[in-house]
């Protein structure tokens, strides 16, 4: 419990913003491992034609996922991203962004 609390607080601090959700890094990690890792890599370093996510600000990651969720195209891999993003809630998006920015700054 202590660890979870620490990680959540850390995520909020790293993301540098006060959002409607207290980010859950464990939930973000689960989503990342299940939906993002196969293309973006185990360290979010990017692979092949799939872009690097490490080092990207949380705001950009959230904004981009929200855009894909709306079905809007951003770049040539939109067809891959839109179906993934469509399934995500606002909380999911915050959690994924928090996990990436915390684990792969």
Partner 1 sequence: MLERSLISKTLPYAAALAGSLAFAVPAVALAANTTSLQHSVVLEGLQAPWDMAFLPDGTMFFTEKCHGLSVLLPSGEVNKLLGMGGAEGYATTADDLVCEGQAGMNGVAVDPDFEENRRIYVYSTSSMSEPRTNRVLRLEVNEDLSDVSNRTDIVDDIPYKVAESDHPFGGPGAHNGGRIRFNPGDGFLYVTTGDNHNSEIPQSPTIMGSKVLRIDTDGNAAPDNAPPEGFDQRTYTYGHRNVQGIAFHPQTNTPIIVEHGPWHSDEITVLVNGGNGGWDPRPNMAGREDCPDDYCGYSPNQMEGMNRYERAAFMPMTDLQTYPDAMKPIWDNNGWSQGSGSAEFLTGEQWGDWDGAMVVGVMGIGFGGTPIGQRIDVVQLNEEGTEVVDVTEMTLPMEAGRFRSVVQGPDGSLYTAVDEGMIHKLTPSAQ
Binding site for partner 1 (CB under 8 A): 38-39, 41-43, 45, 47-50, 75-77, 79-80, 82-83
Location of structure tokens 């202590």: 2
Q: Which residue, 81 or 93, has its beta carbon nearer to partner 1?
A: 81
Query: From its phi and psi, is residue 46 left (phi > 0), alpha (psi between -120 and 50) or beta?
Result: left
Q: Which residue, 8 or 104, has its beta carbon nearer to partner 1?
A: 104
Task: Using only the alpha carbons of the chain, give its radius of gyration.
Answer: 13
Number of other CB atoms surrounding residue 89 within 10 Å: 10
CB of 79 to partner 1, least distance (A): 4
CB of 19 to partner 1, least distance (A): 29
CB of 83 to partner 1, least distance (A): 6
Q: Which residue, 44 or 61, has its beta carbon nearer to partner 1?
A: 44
3-state helix vs strand vs coil in the chain, percent to 5: 60, 0, 35
CB of 35 to partner 1, least distance (A): 9
Q: Which residue, 25 or 81, has its beta carbon nearer to partner 1?
A: 81
């Amino acid at each position: 419990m202590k660890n979870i609390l620490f990680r959540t607080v850390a995520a909020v601090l790293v993301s540098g913003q006060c959002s409607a959700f207290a980010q859950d890094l464990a939930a973000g990690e689960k989503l990342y491992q299940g939906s993002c890792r196969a293309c973006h890599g185990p360290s979010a370093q990017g692979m092949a034609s799939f872009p690097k996510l490490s080092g990207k600000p949380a705001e950009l990651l959230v904004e981009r996922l929200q855009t894909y969720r709306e079905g809007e195209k951003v770049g040539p891999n939109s067809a891959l991203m839109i179906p993934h993003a469509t399934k995500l809630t606002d909380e999911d998006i915050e959690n994924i962004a928090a996990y990436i920015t915390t684990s792969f700054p």
